[in-house]
């Protein structure tokens, strides 16, 4: 999910999207795995939506600490 706003770099044609937890469960102890793309900053091509890159700041967030902004 993505609660905060997205940021657009018009010159480069990139949309930056911060994401939160993988599910609405606030306690992630019951979720297995690294939850890829959760708690991440995604960079997408603004025209195609293709993923350019991502950075996952927390690999398994158990306390629902979303990224605040892009």
C-alpha atoms less than 13 angstroms from C-alpha of 20 in its C-beta half-sphere: 16
Distance CA 59, CA 42 (A): 14
Catalytic site includes residue 64: yes
The dihedral formed by the CA atoms of 46, 50, 55 and 58, expressed in degrees to the nearest 10: 110
pLDDT means per 10 residues, the chain with 70 residues, are 86 94 71 80 97 88 69
The active-site residue, picked from 9, 25, 45, 64, is 64
Residue 4: predicted pLDDT? 78
Q: What is the pTM of this model?
A: 0.79
């Amino acid at each position: 999910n993505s609660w905060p706003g997205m940021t657009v770099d018009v010159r480069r044609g990139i949309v930056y999207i911060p994401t939160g937890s993988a599910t609405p469960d606030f306690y992630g102890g019951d979720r297995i795995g690294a939850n890829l793309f959760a708690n991440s900053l995604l960079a997408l091509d603004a025209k195609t939506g293709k993923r350019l890159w991502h950075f996952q700041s927390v690999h398994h967030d158990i306390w629902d600490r979303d990224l605040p902004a892009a």
